[in-house]
Structures are given as structure tokens and as C-alpha cells.
């Protein structure tokens, strides 16, 4: 019996061994990375994959939209909702929205780095996939631009989180250290600079909305102005003007309101915008990424009009300070705010709701030429060209006046405080849009132009409490600090 027992055990062991060996020789049931990047379309799909994760920032997010993160800290919007990013004092490293935003940005960086790695390998290959190097260069420029966009975002909100410029493929790289002060901003500038000459100047109808050379030059200009004001580096103002001058195919459109209408997306004023869309049914309770056929690529604006889907929250409305600042005769006013109620009108007048009735296919305009004109005006003024700065400000004001105003806003002339005029114009032109106001306020505070410690935010929050040594940056998420011992928490958290 023992002989039979041991013989059976031996035969079973042999069967298992042979079965394992045979299985190891089987072909994978689906495509793997090793044989994926063997057609140009694979590289194209990888590029689209980087854009895809931007949807996680702008969608409904299953009744937990993330927009308060960047819209509420300034003095243009306020709310009854006691959102941490307006109250300041309740911002904590474990806050869920903070963790989500942080993760989304780093997934985008990871995907961009994979694409850059694959492109570099193709550049060195004896038999490259790309026969047309300009197509490959355009994809490389796209990956660099999107990584730069992410690094600029990280620097503005997290300051010294890790700067990851290569694909992480070994245990040695899984704990990247915190970056040095200003490193993420410098990386963003370098990425935009490298991307610009590689990207096409225009896109065809199929590729509409993807980054162009002007997208890269425009963000390079913006990042350099931020560096100049934040760190007192006037040389960066000069470099910003050079980048601005390379944005030569953009201009102000005739009607300010067309910048926020779904009917006039990707127009000549748009330098870069998120492409909100609806693929099949728009399921706003499901994120849309690889391996999901139905999800959301749309944009959400329910926080502006108190849409029923925003039932657990309170809407973002204009501050009293903004309502006192804007002129009711300014033709931009009805496109920005309903002065009687304080309700924001941007993106709301022509929203084009998706099939769910919750979200919109109206694209958030991430960077407009008007923004660049005012940034270039700042650069000119701070480098001694006040008259040149006024000329750029007046382009923005003239567009408004030419829409049919009774005469305001009039052109500015010599003798005005040009710096203050730029700050005032940015307040009106960019109100309630992409968090521009908070990013301006924090850099102007660092420049010494304003003092946020005693600043009138016009918040209706009684518990409002900002600490300058702490709240100029958001905290690094707890999950990152706990998992990565090389990352240091931002001061005060």
C-alpha cells in the first residue's frame, strides 16, 4: 500500500510539474506591454490615456466633485458650505478630495513618463515604429506638455512633492523624495520649453483640443511670470515675454461669453481646455478610464446653479467684494454673474447637458489668451515698460467695450497704478474660473504686493482662518506620507 501511495504521489507531482511547465509556455491571453508598442496607433492611445485621467478632476465624481479644491480659496467665490478649502483651518492631510487630486496628477505623470520612455526606445531602435519622425516628436511634445501641466499644478498646491521625471520600474524608485523649493516649477518650465517646438501649431478636426505649440508657449509664459513674482526673479519676466511672443496664432474673440459656451469651444482665444464629452450614455456615477465602456468624460457645473445633483452641498456664489468691484455696465457682467442673486453665470448660459441631465459637455477653458495678455502686461510693467503693459490691458478692456457697452471699461492711460490695474483686471476677467484668483493672490503675497494675513477675502464663513506659514500650500496627503518615508509634510500640518 505504501508503494502504491508513494507511486501515486510521485505521478501526481510529475503531472503538476509538467502541467506547470506547459502552462509557462502558453501565449498570454491578451496583449502585453512587450508587444503593445509595435504600431503608431499604440503610442497615440497612450497619449490619450494621459488626457483621460484629467476627467477625474472635472467630472461629477459620484456627487463629490473636486472643484472646491481650486475655486473657493480666493476672494471671488464664497459659500455657506464650510468647505475646508475656503475655511482653511479645517484642511487636513487626510481629507479625501485632497488625496484624490494628488493621486490623479501623479497617475497622469506616470503615464506621461511611460510614453516618453517608449518614444525614447523607438528613437534608438534599429527598426523604429515611426517612419515619420514628426509624428513621433508631436507625441513626445504632448507627453512633455502634460507632465509640465501636472508639475505646475503640483507646485502651486503642494510645493515640494516629488518630482518624478522617469518611469519607476524597480524597488529603488518607489519612494521618490520631496523636491527642493521651486524644483517642480522649474521642471514645469523645462517641460513646456522642450514641448513647444515639438508640438504642431494647429490640430485637425479629429485631434481638436489636443495640445499645440501655443499651449506649451502659453503655459511656459504663465509659469515664468509665477516664478518671477513668487521668487522675485525679474529675469523670468523677460523670458515670459519671449514665450508670450511665440503664441502667435491666438487672439481675443469678439464676444467674451463665447469663451464659456459649449457652442464655441476650442476657439482662437482658447490656448488649452479640457475636452468634456459624452461617450454613449453619460454615467456620472462612474469614472471613465481604460476597460470601462460607459463612464463620464463630462464636466460638472452644478455647484454654480445649485443643481439638484448638488443636494448635499451649497452652491459657490460671488463674494460681496466681487459684486462691489464689477460694474453692472461692463458687458462681461451678465456672462460672469447675476448681480441680483450672486449666482455665477460662467459656463451656465449654454451648458449642453449630457444624457444624464447632471453634467455638461461644455469644456472648462484652462488657459485663455486674455489671461496671457494680462500676464504679459505684468511682465512688461515689472521690467520697466509701463506703456507697453497698458496697451495689453487695454486690449482686454477694448474687447469688453466693443461688445456693446455704454462706455466702460474705458482705456487706461498714463498716470495710473499699472500694477494695481493689472490686478483689478484679472479679478474681473478671470473671476470664478479655474482657480486663477487664489493662485494670483498667493504669488502676489509672496511678492509683497498684498498681505494675505490681513486681507479681505469677503468670505461669509465665520470660522474663516488663514495662517500664512501654513495655508499657502495644501498638505501632502496622509496616504503619501505614511507610505513614503522620503516625503516630508508641508509646514504646519
d(CA 58, CA 347): 13
Query: By C-alpha distance, which of 245, 236, 238 is closest to 217?
Result: 245
Q: What is the pLDDT of residue 463?
A: 81
d(CA 308, CA 312): 9
Query: By C-alpha distance, which of 282, 221, 279 is closest to 246?
Result: 221
Dihedral angle at the C-alpha atoms of 449, 454, 457, 460, nearest 10 degrees?
Answer: 180
**All domains in the chain, ordered by first residue:** 38-274+289-456+465-483 (1.25.40.390)
> In the 8-state DSSP scheme, what is residue 264?
G
d(CA 416, CA 418): 6
Per-residue pLDDT of the chain in tens (493 residues, 90 and over written 9) = 444 443 434 434 444 444 444 445 556 666 677 778 999 999 999 999 999 999 999 999 988 999 999 999 999 999 998 899 999 999 999 999 999 999 999 999 999 999 999 999 999 999 999 999 999 999 999 999 999 999 999 999 999 999 999 999 988 889 999 999 999 999 999 999 999 999 999 999 999 999 999 999 999 999 999 999 999 999 999 999 999 999 989 999 999 999 999 999 999 999 999 999 887 788 888 887 655 556 788 999 999 999 999 988 899 999 999 999 999 999 999 999 999 999 999 999 977 899 889 999 999 999 999 999 999 999 999 999 999 999 999 999 999 999 986 767 789 999 999 999 999 999 999 999 999 999 999 999 999 999 999 999 999 998 888 998 899 999 999 999 999 999 999 999 9
Q: What is the pLDDT of residue 11?
A: 39
The string over 394-403, giving b where at least 16 C-beta atoms fall within 10 Å of a residue's C-beta and e elsewhere, is bbbbebbbee
d(CA 48, CA 297): 12
Question: Could you tell me if 396 and 374 are in contact, meaning their C-beta atoms sit under 8 angstroms apart?
Answer: yes
d(CA 187, CA 420): 30
Q: What is the pLDDT of residue 22?
A: 47
Question: How many CB atoms are closer than 10 A to CB 329?
Answer: 11
d(CA 119, CA 162): 23
pTM, whole model, 2 decimals? 0.92
Q: What is the pLDDT of residue 431?
A: 98
Q: What is the pLDDT of residue 31?
A: 66
Query: What residues contact residue 452 under an 8 Å CB cut-off, 6+ apart?
Result: 441, 442, 445, 466, 468, 472
CA 79 to chain CA centroid, nearest Å:
23
Q: What is the pLDDT of residue 286?
A: 83
DSSP symbols for 211-257: --HHHHHHHHHHHHHHHHHHHT-HHHHHHHHHHHHT--S----S-GG
Q: What is the pLDDT of residue 6?
A: 38
Rg (CA), the chain: 25
Q: What pLDDT digit, counting tens, does each position of 318-327 carry?
A: 999 999 999 9
Amino acid at each position: 500500500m505504501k508503494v502504491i501511495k508513494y507511486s501515486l504521489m510521485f505521478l501526481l507531482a510529475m503531472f503538476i510539474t509538467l502541467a506547470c511547465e506547459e502552462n509557462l509556455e502558453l501565449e498570454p491571453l491578451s496583449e502585453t506591454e512587450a508587444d503593445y508598442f509595435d504600431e503608431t496607433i499604440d503610442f497615440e492611445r497612450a497619449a490619450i490615456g494621459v488626457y483621460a485621467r484629467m476627467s477625474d478632476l472635472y467630472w461629477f465624481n459620484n456627487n463629490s466633485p473636486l472643484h472646491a479644491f481650486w475655486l473657493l480659496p480666493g476672494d471671488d467665490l464664497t459659500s455657506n458650505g464650510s468647505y475646508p478649502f475656503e475655511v482653511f483651518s479645517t484642511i487636513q492631510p487626510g481629507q479625501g478630495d485632497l488625496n484624490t487630486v494628488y493621486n490623479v496628477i501623479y497617475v497622469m505623470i506616470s503615464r506621461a513618463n511611460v510614453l516618453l520612455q517608449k518614444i525614447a526606445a523607438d528613437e534608438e531602435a534599429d527598426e523604429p515604429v515611426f517612419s515619420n519622425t514628426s509624428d513621433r516628436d508631436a507625441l513626445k511634445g504632448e507627453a512633455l506638455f502634460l507632465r509640465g501641466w501636472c508639475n505646475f499644478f503640483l507646485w502651486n498646491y503642494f510645493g515640494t512633492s516629488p518630482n518624478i521625471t522617469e518611469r519607476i520600474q524597480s524597488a529603488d524608485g518607489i519612494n521618490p523624495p520631496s523636491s527642493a523649493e521651486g524644483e517642480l516649477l522649474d521642471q514645469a518650465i523645462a517641460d513646456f520649453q522642450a514641448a513647444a517646438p515639438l508640438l504642431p501649431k494647429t490640430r485637425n478636426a479629429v485631434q481638436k483640443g489636443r495640445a499645440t505649440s501655443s499651449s506649451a508657449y502659453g503655459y511656459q509664459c504663465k509659469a515664468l511670470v509665477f516664478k518671477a513674482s513668487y521668487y522675485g526673479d525679474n529675469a523670468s519676466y523677460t523670458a515670459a515675454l519671449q514665450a508670450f511672443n511665440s503664441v502667435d496664432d491666438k487672439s481675443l474673440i469678439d464676444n467674451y461669453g463665447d469663451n464659456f459656451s459649449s457652442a464655441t469651444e476650442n476657439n482662437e482665444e482658447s490656448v488649452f481646455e479640457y475636452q468634456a464629452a459624452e461617450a454613449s450614455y453619460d454615467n456620472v456615477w462612474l469614472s471613465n478610464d481604460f476597460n470601462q465602456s460607459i463612464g463620464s468624460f463630462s464636466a460638472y457645473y452644478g455647484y454654480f446653479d445649485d443643481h439638484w445633483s448638488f443636494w448635499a452641498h451649497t452652491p459657490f456664489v460671488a463674494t460681496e467684494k466681487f459684486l462691489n468691484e464689477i460694474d453692472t455696465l461692463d458687458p462681461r457682467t451678465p456672462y460672469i454673474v447675476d448681480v441680483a442673486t450672486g449666482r455665477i453665470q460662467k459656463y451656465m448660459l449654454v451648458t449642453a447637458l449630457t444624457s444624464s441631465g447632471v453634467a455638461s459637455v461644455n469644456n472648462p477653458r484652462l488657459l485663455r489668451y486674455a489671461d496671457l495678455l494680462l500676464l504679459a502686461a505684468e511682465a512688461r510693467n515689472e521690467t520697466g515698460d509701463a506703456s507697453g503693459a497698458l496697451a495689453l490691458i487695454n486690449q482686454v478692456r477694448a474687447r469688453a467695450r466693443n461688445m456693446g457697452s455704454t462706455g466702460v471699461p474705458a482705456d487706461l492711460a498714463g498716470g495710473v497704478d499699472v500694477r494695481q490695474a493689472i490686478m483689478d483686471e484679472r479679478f474681473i476677467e478671470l473671476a470664478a474660473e479655474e482657480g486663477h484668483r487664489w493662485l494670483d493672490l498667493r504669488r502676489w503675497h509672496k511678492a509683497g504686493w498684498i498681505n494675505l494675513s490681513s486681507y479681505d477675502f469677503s468670505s461669509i464663513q465665520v470660522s474663516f482662518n488663514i495662517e500664512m506659514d501654513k495655508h499657502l500650500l495644501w498638505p501632502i496627503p496622509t496616504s503619501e506620507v505614511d507610505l513614503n518615508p522620503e516625503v516630508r509634510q508641508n509646514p504646519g500640518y
